[in-house]
Amino acid sequence: MKAARDQTEPVVHDIEAAADQAIAACGGDAREAVKALIVANDFLEAQLEGLWRKVSTGYAQGRLPGTREQRSEPDD
DSSP string, 9-39: HHHHHHHHHHHHHHHHHTTT-HHHHHHHHHH
List, for residues 35-54, the tens digit of each pLDDT value. 999 999 999 999 998 888 88
pLDDT above 80 for 16: yes
Q: Specify the pTM.
A: 0.58
Task: Supply the pLDDT for residue 7.
Answer: 62
Count of CA atoms in the C-beta half-sphere (13 A) of 10: 4
Largest CA distance in the chain: 54
CB 21 within 8 A of CB 36: no
How far apart are alpha carbons 47 and 11 in whole angstroms?
Answer: 25
